[in-house]
């Protein structure tokens, strides 16, 4: 081929596998369908979460034998208190609300990164590593350059975009050139990124003077994200909103996005139609990584103590996978999923403080939501929702005694 891609054709693909994936990632579902199942999944998760709160409340459990009615009342009020605290802690006050939006910011950005990959049929499990690499680039620009904030912050973000795009682009290139599966390469690149960050933070280029542990120099105030008054909420959230708009435009309005989605559904069809599938894979990964890089900036430029520390991006890159699933890989879906997860984070702290429920329950709730999202048939069965007509089709796989 004149464009230098790998030998064309010859790579088998199983369209039915693509369809299975699409049903999990939600790519291609209409908006109406996209809302019902996630909403019911969240509701079911909250119900089961309530049950967990009830059975882990040992004091109340012992009352059941003596006075079941009293026990029921205690249980209901216990669960009610917990969820009330969750609600108050997430949206009950201006501070709670800003905390929700603040917690949602990196989740939305990282979720968009995963969603872009899903839309093009790629599973970018490496958002975590890409956040770290992007974050490191932003960090370096943050402490080593002296500029007014209006220039400094954009420059740091651009650096993060480049850092994340390159890191993810490696996996894209490997896939395009050699067919290496992106799930494997991105997972491995996560490890490399994590330890590379640890190493870099102990080099003189990054390490704070006089320290032996992996802790970077402080970021210049001009590169720190301006906050809303004394709340923690900062311009990162606006950046995330802009990213939602950008990804929506990219996927549904741009020619690049048209190719992404075509190749995501059917690479053979894309190749036949003249699309360069290999370069599209590289492009998808680069854009996904760029979004991850921006997500990474929030963990250094938008978070006290405004320094790089070991593993600064935490597990956001992995939560983002769950979040993209919940958002059915649609940018607006990701926005709402991010807000929900952000609310659980913010409210979880209040729940722990006021109702004494461990914050771990929030993680359990998140996990339950994902289980129900990943198993839509389960939700349909629980709520007796008819399977959409296009997904019926009698299984004729039995045959003779099969």
Partner 1 sequence: MELELKGITKQFAGVLANDDVDLRVAEGEIVALLGENGAGKTTLMNILYGLYTPTSGQVLIDGEPLELLSPADAIAAGIGMVHQHFMLVPVFSVAENVVLGEEPTKKLGWLDKSRARRVVREISSRHGLDVDPDAIIEDLPVGVQQRVEIIKVLEREARFVVFDEPTSVLTPTEVESFFEVVRSLKAAGKGIIFISHKLGEALDIADRIVVMRRGKTVAEVVPAETDEERLAELMVGRPVDLTVHKAEARPADVVLSVEHLVVLDDRNRRAVDDLSFEVRAGEILGIAGVQGNGQTELVQAITGLRSALRGVVQLRGVDVTIESPRDLHKRDVAHVPEDRQRSGLILQFTVTENVILDSYYEEPISNGIQMDWDAAREQALRLVDEYDVRTPSVDTLVSKLSGGNQQKVIVAREFDRDVSLVIASQPTRGIDVGSIEYIHARIVRKRDEGAAVLIVSSELDEVMAISDRIIVLFGGRIAGEFDGSATATEIGLAMLGSQGESEAS
Question: Where on the chain is the footprint of partner 1 (CB under 8 A)?
Answer: 1-3, 7-10, 12, 15, 19, 22, 27-28, 253-256, 258-259, 261-262, 265-266, 268-276, 389-390, 394, 396-402
Q: What pairs with residue 216 in β-bridges? A: 207
User: Closest separation between CB of residue 19 and partner 1, Å?
Assistant: 8
Say whether 227 sits in a helix, a strand or coil: strand
User: Token pair 């709730």 is at which residue?
Assistant: 365
Question: Given the complex with partner 1, which of 4 and 209 has the nearer CB atom?
Answer: 4
Question: Given the complex with partner 1, which of 217 and 330 has the nearer CB atom?
Answer: 330
Question: Given the complex with partner 1, which of 203 and 397 has the nearer CB atom?
Answer: 397
Question: Given the complex with partner 1, which of 261 and 307 has the nearer CB atom?
Answer: 261
125 closest CA partner among 71, 63, 187? 187
**187/171 Cα distance (integer angstroms):** 10
DSSP-H helix ranges across 266-359:
267-272, 277-297, 316-326, 331-350
User: Closest separation between CB of residue 247 and partner 1, Å?
Assistant: 15
**Cβ neighbours for 131, distance < 8 A, ≥ 6 positions apart:** 106, 110, 164, 292, 293, 295, 296, 299, 313, 316, 317
- ∠ CA 125-282-182, rounded to 5°: 30
**232/104 Cα distance (integer angstroms):** 12
Question: Given the complex with partner 1, which of 14 and 230 has the nearer CB atom?
Answer: 14
**287/172 Cα distance (integer angstroms):** 10
What's the sign of the alpha-carbon dihedral 67, 70, 73, 74?
Answer: negative
Q: What pairs with residue 215 in β-bridges? A: 309
**291/124 Cα distance (integer angstroms):** 12
Question: Given the complex with partner 1, which of 30 and 56 has the nearer CB atom?
Answer: 30
User: Token pair 């009830």 is at which residue?
Assistant: 54
Question: Given the complex with partner 1, which of 1 and 146 has the nearer CB atom?
Answer: 1
Question: Could you tell me how many residues make up the chain?
Answer: 402
User: Closest separation between CB of residue 33 and partner 1, Å?
Assistant: 13
Supply 331's token pair. 């940018």
User: Closest separation between CB of residue 94 and partner 1, Å?
Assistant: 39
Question: Given the complex with partner 1, which of 195 and 272 has the nearer CB atom?
Answer: 272
Question: Given the complex with partner 1, which of 195 and 252 has the nearer CB atom?
Answer: 252
**41/43 Cα distance (integer angstroms):** 5
User: Token pair 């997904």 is at which residue?
Assistant: 391
Asked if residue 312 lies in contact with residue 299, where contact means CB atoms within 8 angstroms, the answer is yes
User: Closest separation between CB of residue 244 and partner 1, Å?
Assistant: 18
Question: Given the complex with partner 1, which of 119 and 128 has the nearer CB atom?
Answer: 119
Asked if residue 51 lies in contact with residue 76, where contact means CB atoms within 8 angstroms, the answer is no
**267/275 Cα distance (integer angstroms):** 9
> From its phi and psi, is residue 399 left (phi > 0), alpha (psi between -120 and 50) or beta?
left
User: Closest separation between CB of residue 275 and partner 1, Å?
Assistant: 8
């Amino acid at each position: 081929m004149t464009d230098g891609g790998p030998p064309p054709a010859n790579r088998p693909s199983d369209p039915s596998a693509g369809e299975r994936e699409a049903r999990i990632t939600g790519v291609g579902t209409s908006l109406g369908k996209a809302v019902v199942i996630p909403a019911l999944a969240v509701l079911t998760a909250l119900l089961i979460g309530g049950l967990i709160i009830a059975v882990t409340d040992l004091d109340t459990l012992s009352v059941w034998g003596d006075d079941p009615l009293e026990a029921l009342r205690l249980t209901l009020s216990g669960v009610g208190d917990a969820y009330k605290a969750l609600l108050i802690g997430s949206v009950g006050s201006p501070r709670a609300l800003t905390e929700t939006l603040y917690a949602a910011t990196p989740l939305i950005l990282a979720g968009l990164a995963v969603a872009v990959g899903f839309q093009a049929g790629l599973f970018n499990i490496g958002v975590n590593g890409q956040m770290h690499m992007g974050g490191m680039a932003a960090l370096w620009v943050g402490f080593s350059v002296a500029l007014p904030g209006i220039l400094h912050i954009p420059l740091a973000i651009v650096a993060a975009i480049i850092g994340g795009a390159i890191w993810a682009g490696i996996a894209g290139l490997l896939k395009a050139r050699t067919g290496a599966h992106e799930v494997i390469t991105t997972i491995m690149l996560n490890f490399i990124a994590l330890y590379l960050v640890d190493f870099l933070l102990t080099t003189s280029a990054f390490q704070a003077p006089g320290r032996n542990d992996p802790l970077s120099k402080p970021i210049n105030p001009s590169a720190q994200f301006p906050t809303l008054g004394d709340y923690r909420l900062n311009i990162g959230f606006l950046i995330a909103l802009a990213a939602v708009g950008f990804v929506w435009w990219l996927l549904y309005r741009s020619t690049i996005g048209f190719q992404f989605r075509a190749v995501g559904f059917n690479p053979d069809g894309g190749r036949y139609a003249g699309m360069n599938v290999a370069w599209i894979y590289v492009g998808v990964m680069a854009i996904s990584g760029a979004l991850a890089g921006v997500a990474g900036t929030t963990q250094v430029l938008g978070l006290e103590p405004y320094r790089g520390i070991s593993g600064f991006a935490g597990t956001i890159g992995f939560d983002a996978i769950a979040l993209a699933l919940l958002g059915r890989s649609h940018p607006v879906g990701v926005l709402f999923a991010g807000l929900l997860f952000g609310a659980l984070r913010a409210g979880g702290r209040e729940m722990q403080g006021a109702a004494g429920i461990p914050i771990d329950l929030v993680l359990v709730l998140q996990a339950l939501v994902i289980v129900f999202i990943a198993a839509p048939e389960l939700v349909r069965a629980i709520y007796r929702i008819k399977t959409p007509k296009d997904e019926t089709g009698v299984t004729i796989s039995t045959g003779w005694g099969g």
